[in-house]
């Protein structure tokens, strides 16, 4: 159902659920229109939720950081402080790892029946659904994404992912293996131990589920570090997980900064496995820190510069809408965003004009306001980075078709920006912008676009829009990417594996493939005393 919800966003603006309408009724709905784009309201709507949890979660208890330090988490709509959150450092990582180690080595979680683990995860999913709107409001407040996106798509997907992994818990088992001799051979699939997990700020709840779901289903204990920009939702839902019956110490959540808390977790000798989602540059650091400690296995889901290829047989109106969604969804803050829009020369001019018109219609404003498609960028650093890329595009000779400026006087809002006449060597065509900037490039045949699409250090995802089965078969096999969406984009079903080629990462998340990240395989060999019965 969550997959259908996300697909429906491609062809319409978000429609409000009755719950969302009730929450927003009577709030400030003022906006200004300029160049066809809704400008952020000067007076942000008051979020319909209270921040309850700002401490670290260690051994099942909310506690202050060892140093007593806190840091502010900011409202991207205004840049103002939402709350001060406990700032974890290496000592807090040590405390969390010790709790996880004890929970794994001595506690009931890895020893209880897989069915009971499944029941706890299912109760957790029920609690997520019960608190859907509170969770969504925290996510929007801390991250800036539209409330209707969080409430109607992402929180339901969180519950769906947890249920998916609950279903796997009692289906993980080994094999019996025939041997060349009088031996009984079996394999055991055992939990790997203490898993360190580091999640990003663009999809805090979904990345939380991608990480903890398979790890818990397999019977592991966890230390999870949240992104410093978005710590609130993970703390809230982790409390619900303990309410569902999770034993103390199985999940520990440390908020803090990457160079301190993240580095301590990556290099910790008592962490048995590490999973990281974030930028390619930081992924390299994480991998290096891990390799210098105990050679723990590492899975990485990193950056991307995904091609979205519009073939000459495309219905241009449909292609424009899908390409718009592929890039601008989640404020463009998506690692697999279709950020290189390749359009066949026969439909290029028509596509550019319609892509410009669609961007000018995009509604940007307070994400708690009904009908808003795009909220603010996550923070000032990301805002300034995107604006520098826009300036680079103009200076390098690309044609600015729409946008390119800040919206409003508060917060980190950027106009939906479209560039045409983009060349392969431009920074906007090679670097991961992670913002609402669409780059449109022209091509004239499949061999050319395959070569150009693959001429990148990334390989996370790709999109293809065509009516031709031959085009589909050629492109899906030729593109070097972990996911290829054909006539759709951003379909994140719980069972579909996700991960990248090249410098977009290593390993896969979601689906059956994610379980491999959190299991050890043990071979058990026993001699048979009476080989005559073989």
Rounded distance, CA 138 to CA 134, Å?
Answer: 6
Q: If you ran DSSP here, which 8-state letter would residue 52 be given? A: -
Helix (H) or strand (E) holding 392: helix 380-395
| CA 342 from centre of chain | 24
Q: Is 334 a catalytic residue?
A: no
Choice among 301, 373, 401, 432 that is catalytic: 301
Choice among 228, 335, 336, 432 that is catalytic: 335
The label of the residue with tokens 């990582």 reads 93
Judge whether 389 and 433 are in contact, CB under 8 Å.
yes
* Order of strands, sheet of 399-402, starting from the edge strand that comes earlier in the sequence: 399-402, 417-420, 437-443, 340-344, 307-310, 461-465, 483-486
Q: What are phi and psi of 341, to 5 degrees?
A: -90, 100
What is the rounded radius of gyration, in angstroms, for the C-alpha atoms of the chain?
24
Rounded distance, CA 81 to CA 74, Å?
Answer: 4
The two beta strands, 221-226 and 251-255, are parallel
DSSP for 254-271 reads EEB-IIIIIHHHHT-TT-
What six digits make up the tokens of 42? 């000067």
Q: Is 335 a catalytic residue?
A: yes
Strand partners, 308: 341, 463
The label of the residue with tokens 């307070």 reads 366
Judge whether 191 and 168 are in contact, CB under 8 Å.
no
DSSP for 464-510 reads EE-S-HHHHHHHHHHS--SEEEES------TTS-B--SGGGEES-BS
Positions marked active-site: 301, 335
């Amino acid at each position: 159902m969550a997959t259908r919800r996300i697909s429906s966003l491609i062809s319409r603006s978000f429609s409000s659920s009755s719950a969302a309408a009730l929450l927003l009724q009577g709030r400030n709905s003022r906006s200004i229109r300029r160049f066809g784009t809704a400008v952020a309201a000067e007076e942000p709507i008051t979020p319909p939720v209270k921040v309850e949890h700002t401490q670290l979660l260690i051994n099942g208890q909310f506690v202050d950081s060892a140093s007593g330090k806190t840091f502010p988490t900011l409202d991207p709509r205004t840049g103002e402080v939402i709350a001060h959150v406990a700032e974890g450092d290496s000592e807090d990582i040590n405390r969390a790892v010790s709790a996880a180690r004890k929970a794994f080595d001595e506690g009931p979680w890895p020893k209880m029946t897989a069915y009971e683990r499944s029941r706890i995860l299912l109760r957790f999913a029920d609690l997520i659904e019960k608190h859907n709107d509170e969770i969504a409001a925290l996510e929007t407040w801390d991250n800036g994404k539209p409330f209707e996106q969080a409430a109607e798509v992402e929180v339901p997907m969180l519950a769906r992912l947890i249920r998916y992994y609950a279903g796997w818990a009692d289906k993980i088992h080994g094999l019996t293996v025939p041997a060349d001799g009088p031996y009984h051979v079996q394999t055991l699939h055992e939990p790997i131990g203490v898993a360190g997990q580091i999640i990003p700020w663009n999809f805090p709840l979904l990345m939380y589920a991608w990480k903890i779901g398979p790890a818990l289903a397999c019977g592991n204990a966890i230390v999870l570090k949240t992104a410093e920009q978005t710590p609130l939702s993970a703390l809230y839902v982790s409390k619900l997980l303990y309410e569902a019956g999770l034993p103390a110490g199985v999940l520990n959540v440390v908020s803090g900064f990457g160079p301190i808390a993240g580095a301590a977790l990556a290099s910790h000798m008592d962490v048995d496995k590490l999973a990281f989602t974030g930028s390619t540059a930081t992924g390299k650091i994480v991998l290096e820190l891990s390799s210098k400690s105990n050679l723990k296995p590492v899975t990485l889901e990193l950056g991307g510069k995904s091609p979205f290829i519009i073939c000459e047989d495309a219905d241009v109106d449909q292609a424009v809408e899908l390409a718009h969604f592929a890039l601008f969804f989640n404020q463009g803050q998506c690692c697999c965003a279709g950020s290189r829009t390749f359009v066949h020369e026969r439909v290029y001019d028509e596509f550019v004009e319609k892509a410009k018109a669609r961007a000018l219609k995009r509604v940007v404003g307070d994400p708690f306001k009904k009908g808003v498609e795009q909220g603010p960028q996550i923070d000032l650093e990301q805002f300034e980075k995107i604006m520098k890329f826009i300036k680079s595009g103009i200076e390098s000779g690309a044609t600015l078709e729409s946008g390119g400026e800040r919206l409003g006087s508060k917060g980190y809002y950027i106009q939906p920006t479209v560039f045409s006449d983009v060349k392969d060597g431009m920074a906007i065509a090679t670097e991961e912008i992670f913002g609402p900037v669409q780059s449109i490039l022209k091509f004239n045949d499949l061999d050319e676009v395959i070569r150009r699409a693959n001429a990148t250090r990334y390989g996370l995802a790709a999109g293809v829009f065509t009516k031709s089965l031959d085009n589909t078969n050629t492109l899906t096999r030729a593109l070097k990417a972990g996911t290829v969406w054909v006539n759709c984009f951003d379909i994140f079903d719980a069972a579909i594996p996700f991960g990248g080629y090249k410098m977009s990462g290593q390993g896969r998340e979601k689906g059956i493939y994610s379980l491999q990240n959190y299991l050890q395989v043990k071979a058990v060999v026993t001699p048979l005393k009476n080989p005559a019965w073989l």
